[in-house]
Structure 1
């Protein structure tokens, strides 16, 4: 039996994904998105539904997790004083209960749901609207009515220009609605007193003067960043702030009125806002790879101006082994601390010389003052000149002498490894007795400060790094680690874990039980070990700004 653990899982299922067998299917959903929308996310292609369902079957958590999650939600609902929040929790619980007994794709279709729909999430002004394609309108209507009845909700039905919609949550300043329109489900927040004219725009009875379909902007973003057509979006900071300050869309004005909020008074802040949005124009998201049977990758780009890109690139420093997919897991950081302290001081000085004048931005002035104080911290000043990056690799996890033990390699990059060695000796004095030379030759270190589980500890040094190896069978591993390749891109941060790490953690917990770890937790770790070959997070500097990628490789 498949278990559905939350509404987020439902939305993730609806959003679908991509694979090498993606079916090109140009969607008309883009026609509803205004070309000047402050934010949007949309797909232009879909997947084979059976493939998506098979992926869903494989990756869902096992055991009694759903029942436990539902009971936790029920307890949260019992303690929730807000009526709107109670209604939403009831809806989530009822949705989870609806999907308890799904075994086949036909079971999903019987509920009217397409497991690989085209999806669009966008702003009419700042008001959010979400649309996704359905498998069967009538079946979905039955499912919706069943869920809200189980949730104890009584939606109020409205009609605009021949289209029905449901106000799901209780009467309030802002309400949640759902409609079924032209083979699509539409979900949106609306002001409680929304006019028929505004509702007609939300429901798509009034199309924008120019749409994303007409502008072709989403396809252009895909081309520009090398994204697949399986989900691309942006948040445009200048348009969001402009809409909040000088609302142009009636949906924004109506929503602010419903909340009793005035538009932001940006008259005195426009210069500050232009300064910020010029430096950080927006956020872009998409995927450069998406194969449900192989590798999938979601990319997030914080767009910055050219000066910030140049400064970010100055932070990048080569670290042996950083970004290599070795061992059970690794964590690495290639960040020149001396340059970081210099840049913090430079930007703080710029803020002091030209502070933000807007009242709403005074916290930024204070933040930079506080951050600048770190540059004079004695510990930072001691470490920064000697340490420019690190890479910690775990090769093995096991139980030794009653406690958990890890073997692996820690590589500390430095432009002055002798100074780094002196600093490290302050924490582990025996290092100074090894007489290390920058020749990569490993030497064994013995210390009473080491835990009893540590069988061996070796150290070695090159002209650009210091390496420490714990529990290694072959000391030459340190020499190889010092000579390991560096990243061929401007990599700042890398986190890598194999499926075997989850298996090793599960085995460790079985042999050394913990009070706060249940059998189900261990089963979930084993499940992750079976389905994932690896998971990886990379943060690097690209031509457009700071890029973060979240990658997943499925096991065979």
Structure 2
């Protein structure tokens, strides 16, 4: 068996699910900073994701039923993998595959799956980069148990993982390319994956094996002069955005990422040398202009605001330069009731098209006044010149629509069953109705006035879309048009058009109940997945993973409502997701 398969077999264990593993106790007392996996991430890392303390026990307990069900799906998928492998490989290899699958099934059938392998379900974790090489660092519950599990994997597979030693630190490794690539005479590139148990941490890293990046730095034998913990960057993010220490707080710094690929004049990295060898280097002019663009949206940050047994609230922000963020805030508009539902399906958006056109025009004018000099950005110069010639249409459309909201208690596309309300926000509702009469002449017979009263619309064309048994109701006020679908919706549509808009105004919003999601997903079954395959290989893969997909869908039986809200604020583009459990 290939070493790759053996290495992946161990990695597969990290994805195993368990609900009765003993989690690390949730405590307000943080672990010593020097012992945190995040403490091994350098302060200048381009990305980092990790937690400072374990998640609350109530949250872990709430996941227990879903994780237990996922284990059952995993076991069924492993049985199918055995079945498929029997027709793909020879008897000798099949015996090894079966032995590994049986091992995983044995562990999955234990109530303490992860703990039996020495893995901590609720431990401290970190992902980051060191000089451009990604590293994952996990807190183990029992390092000796994990070593025993790896040995058992090797025994079942009938071969050992390659091992190495660095100043007394043992590690496993997996070569990724048999033929070393010469980046230059001083930088041979011979990449491999490495894994080591360092104290109570499991370390997984990509090792390019270059002089600029000693393995000791990847494994944490050589600690950074300043870590992202001692710099306080993630703690400051938590404080600024209200994220919690027990969830994975993350940051992606675009300017640091650029510096790895295109460092300042006189400097180099192993990544920039790789690009240079492939004739993909950036000129100093290009590097400077790309850096100025990155400064407009310097970071993406994320974290959790709340994780309990009943609610999970996650957030993310694409930070935007303050002046630019202020201009972007002007493009959203009030939409009555958008984001207020707690059942069924709701989606909508808002956009002041004239403000968007003005923003785009301002950016295009700035580029035309000072065109980019970088050869890679010349297409952007051309596009900005074309944009200014095509803005008239945007300005013309700005007088009709500024947003919409659909609130549906029933949505069955296949059987044309719909029930709910649709709201259109407009600076000129009467004009919008007049325009709609061109393709829906029955509107003219309603005699609509902006009094907020619903009137029944009888239209063969509209009925062909929403179903003949569904009655249609239309209402209008001075800022909104509402459409009710269903015999009992006139009161609902009258209420919908006068509902209060959210603050801040959503740019984009969608939400759904667990029950509604399952009804929509009910149209996807194993046969549908099989028919969607584009090749025999894809069909076999779909066959193997279907039990796992089905068990993942079953999670939504415990979900009350999920919402995702995108807003433009003085901090940038903010994304907030909230999931409530039953």
- Shorter-chain TM-score above 0.5: yes
Of 109, 114, 133, which residue of structure 2 is paired with 1:108? 114
Q: For residue 384 of structure 1, what is the aligned residue in structure 2?
A: 398
Q: Is the 8 A contact 1:94 1:148 kept in 2?
A: no
Instruction: Report SS of the residue matched to 1:107.
Output: coil
**Alpha-carbon offset, residue 314 of structure 1:** 0.4
**Alpha-carbon offset, residue 51 of structure 1:** 5.7
Q: Is the 8 A contact 1:505 1:525 kept in 2?
A: no
**Structure 1 residues 201, 554: CA separation in 2 closer, same or farther (over 3 Å shift)?**
same
Superposition CA RMSD, Å: 4.0
**Alpha-carbon offset, residue 100 of structure 1:** 6.7
Q: For residue 448 of structure 1, what is the aligned residue in structure 2?
A: 460
Q: For residue 482 of structure 2, what is the aligned residue in structure 1?
A: 467
- 1:527 matched to 2:554? The reply is yes
Q: Is the 8 A contact 1:19 1:290 kept in 2?
A: no
Q: Output aligned runs, 1:489-528, within 5 Å.
A: 489-505=504-520, 509=523, 516=528, 527-528=554-555
Of 412, 418, 424, which residue of structure 1 is paired with 2:430? 418
Q: For residue 180 of structure 1, what is the aligned residue in structure 2?
A: 197
- 1:331 matched to 2:357? The reply is no
**Alpha-carbon offset, residue 270 of structure 1:** 3.8
**Alpha-carbon offset, residue 368 of structure 1:** 4.4
- 1:537 matched to 2:564? The reply is yes
**Alpha-carbon offset, residue 40 of structure 1:** 1.1
**Structure 1 residues 47, 250: CA separation in 2 closer, same or farther (over 3 Å shift)?**
farther
Q: Is the 8 A contact 2:24 2:122 kept in 1?
A: no
Q: Is the 8 A contact 2:18 2:71 kept in 1?
A: no
Of 143, 146, 155, which residue of structure 2 is paired with 1:140? 146
Q: Unpaired segments of 5 or more residues in structure 1?
A: 80-89
Instruction: Report SS of the residue matched to 1:344.
Output: helix
Query: What is the rounded CA distance, in whole Å, between the counterparts of 1:153 and 1:454 in structure 2?
Result: 67
Instruction: Report SS of the residue matched to 1:497.
Output: strand
Q: For residue 374 of structure 2, what is the aligned residue in structure 1?
A: 358
**Alpha-carbon offset, residue 320 of structure 1:** 0.5
Q: For residue 25 of structure 1, what is the aligned residue in structure 2?
A: 30
**Structure 1 residues 528, 42: CA separation in 2 closer, same or farther (over 3 Å shift)?**
closer
Query: What is the rounded CA distance, in whole Å, between the counterparts of 1:75 and 1:316 in structure 2?
Result: 52
**Alpha-carbon offset, residue 244 of structure 1:** 1.8
Q: Output aligned runs, 1:215-234, within 5 Å.
A: 215-229=231-245, 230-234=247-251
Instruction: Report SS of the residue matched to 1:299.
Output: strand
Give deviations 1:312-351, integer Å, cap 9, x for gaps: 2101110001111244010010211222223223323322
**Alpha-carbon offset, residue 215 of structure 1:** 1.9
**Structure 1 residues 141, 324: CA separation in 2 closer, same or farther (over 3 Å shift)?**
same
Q: For residue 481 of structure 1, what is the aligned residue in structure 2?
A: 496
Query: What is the rounded CA distance, in whole Å, between the counterparts of 2:148 and 2:386 in structure 1?
Result: 56
Q: Output aligned runs, 1:192-271, within 5 Å.
A: 193-194=209-210, 198-229=214-245, 230-246=247-263, 252-253=269-270, 256-257=273-274, 260-261=277-278, 264-271=281-288
- Please say which of residues 449-458 and 223-232 is displaced more in the overlay: 449-458
Query: What is the rounded CA distance, in whole Å, between the counterparts of 1:388 and 1:97 in structure 2?
Result: 58
Instruction: Report SS of the residue matched to 1:320.
Output: coil
Query: What is the rounded CA distance, in whole Å, between the counterparts of 1:207 and 1:73 in structure 2?
Result: 44
Give deviations 1:409-451, integer Å, cap 9, x for gaps: 0000011111221233334232232221111011111111122
Of 47, 70, 84, which residue of structure 2 is paired with 1:39? 47
Q: Unpaired segments of 5 or more residues in structure 2?
A: 1-8, 89-95, 179-189, 531-545
Q: For residue 445 of structure 2, what is the aligned residue in structure 1?
A: 433
**Structure 1 residues 106, 514: CA separation in 2 closer, same or farther (over 3 Å shift)?**
closer
Instruction: Report SS of the residue matched to 2:340.
Output: coil
Instruction: Report SS of the residue matched to 1:233.
Output: strand
Instruction: Report SS of the residue matched to 2:377.
Output: helix
Give deviations 1:448-470, integer Å, cap 9, x for gaps: 11224442001010110100111
Query: What is the rounded CA distance, in whole Å, between the counterparts of 1:279 and 1:96 in structure 2?
Result: 52
- 1:285 matched to 2:297? The reply is no
Paired residues in the alignment total 528
Query: What is the rounded CA distance, in whole Å, between the counterparts of 2:49 and 2:560 in structure 1?
Result: 29
**Alpha-carbon offset, residue 405 of structure 1:** 0.3
**Alpha-carbon offset, residue 150 of structure 1:** 6.3
Query: What is the rounded CA distance, in whole Å, between the counterparts of 2:405 and 2:354 in structure 1?
Result: 18
